[in-house]
Every structure is written in C-alpha cells, then in structure tokens.
Amino acid sequence: MKGFVTKAIGGFFFVADEKQNIYQTRIRGKIKDTVYPGDYVEFNEEVIEKVYPRKSLLHRPAIANVDQVLIVLSVAKPEFDRRLLDRFLIIVEKAALNPLIVINKIDLAEGGFFEQFEDYRTAGYQVYFISVKERKGIEELMKDLGGHINVLTGPSGVGKSSLINTLVAEERMEVGEISKRLKRGRHTTRHVEFLAVENRGWVADTPGFTSLEIKHILPEELTYFYPEFIPYLDKCKFRGCSHTHEPVCAVKDAVAESLIPAERYESYRNFYSELKEG
C-alpha cells in the first residue's frame, strides 16, 4: 500500500493509507534514519518497505513534502506585530512554500485594525481573519487546506493548538495555559504530527520553527521575497539595484506613486540593513 507518514515516535512510524486509516509500523535497516513525517511510503500493515522521492524537506522541524504554511498571529494577547509577520513571510518565501496569513482573535479587534492587511492582499497573499473562540472564519480557511500538506507557525499564545483542534474537529491536543504575567503561551507540542482535515488535507502539529533568523538569506535575494516588487525589478537603471539608495530606481518610483505600499518598502529596507550588517 502507498501511505503517508503522520508521525514518528519511540521507534514507531505511524502511516495513513489512502482512506486516512492509521497503521503503527516499523522500518527495517538504516532507512529509518531518512524517513520523516510527511513522507510518502510503500508499506504493509507492519513494515515500511520504500520511501518515495520527496518534493521538499524542512529541517527545523524535520517535515517532508510541506507545500503550505499557515502563519498564525493574533489581534491581541499577544499583540499583532507587523514586522514579525514580514519576517515569517520572508522565511516562508525563501523555503519556496505558499504562505497563508491567519489572524486569530478578531473578537478583540478595534476599529481600523483590518485596513493594514490590504497591503498584503495587494501583494497577492491570502489573508484569513478568524476567531477560534467564536468559530468565525474557520470554514473559509478549511476550504484552502484540502489536498495540501500544511504546517502552522507563529508565536506562542496566538491560538495554534486551539485552531488545530477546531480544524480536526477533535480535542486531540493539550492547549497550553496562557501566562497572564508574560502574556505568552507555553509550548505544549512535543513532537511533529500530521492530523487529517477535510478533503484529503493534512495539518501538522509541530514544535514550531525553531529559529526566526534570516542570516541564511543574501541581501540581494531579499527583493524577490517581496512579491509586489517583482514587476519593477528589471526596470531599474542599474543592474543589481538594491532599491535603497540608487538613482532611477523603479521600485522607489513605484513607492512614490503608491503602487507599492510605503510600509512594505520600509520593511524591506529594515531587513536589507539587517542582512547587510549580518
């Protein structure tokens, strides 16, 4: 049978068949050191016999074949941080994965909060406003998870565990008690596990991306991770334009003409400086 590895723990590999039935299996030989959650495998009911070539591999955490990343942030508790969102987007773009921006706790939003996300929609990103607590916006998000291998990332306390509970329609995760003093959630996830969602999709319960460092990105690469810049990149006067100080820069002109949002351009400049100083 062809299957999908949902988790690996204690020397066992849990594999789902095409109907999402789960089997507890083992692996013979050294192959077990190269099998990760997300891998497609050939197996019988007890043993994995073959691993199919994978499309991608995230190293921290180690997950194979991911194609979508849900960047989960909250309106408040913890407060929304636009720069943090941009940092997540850069990391996901670098990994060549499709980011979905998910904003939880919209029941706490005040007037004008949602307007800032027009910049991201203009850039081509999908933005979902949800309230897990009030079960708002979940169905719209669910529609775009089917047929994909999805992982969640985001800071502690934004409601990732509660969101996964809602998506899989089962209380299968421990939800961390929110620390009122720190206004942060405690990590409750201990291993990588994929859970089935509707329409043959999977969502990963992960320990999260262990680093938000972007030092592995070259300064000259950064411009390609801002999708709204791309139509202008070949129109600058100077080849290799950094879009920061050069004259006759099509990106800067687009900012001046409000074709590129000023805040997104400032975000780019800040991260470019961080990488140059690296």
> Would you say residue 171 has pLDDT above 60?
no
Residue 27: strand, helix, or coil: strand
Residue range(s) in the chain whose domain bears CATH number 2.40.50.140: 2-53
Q: Buried b vs exposed e over 208-243: b needs ≥16 C-beta within 10 Å?
A: bbeeeebeebebeebbebbebbeebeeebeeeebbb
Assigned CATH for 2-53: 2.40.50.140
Residue range(s) in the chain whose domain bears CATH number 3.40.50.300: 62-205
Residue 186: strand, helix, or coil: coil
Average of per-residue pLDDT across 33-42: 91
Q: Which two tokens stand for residue 240?
A: 């290799």
Closest by CA position to 61, among listed 95, 13, 93, 86:
95
Q: Which two tokens stand for residue 228?
A: 């709204």
In this prediction, residue 210 carries a pLDDT of: 57
Selected residue with higher pLDDT from 59 and 271: 271
Residue range(s) in the chain whose domain bears CATH number 1.10.40.50: 219-277
Q: Rounded to whole angstroms, how far apart are CA atoms 213 and 117?
A: 24
- Per-residue pLDDT tens digits for 202-240: 998 766 565 688 888 999 999 999 999 999 999 999 999
Pick the CATH number of 219-277 from 3.40.1190.20, 1.10.3720.10, 3.40.50.300, 1.10.40.50: 1.10.40.50
Q: Rounded to whole angstroms, how far apart are CA atoms 251 and 264?
A: 11
What share of the chain in percent tops pLDDT 70? 88
Per CATH, domain 62-205 is 3.30.70.1020: no
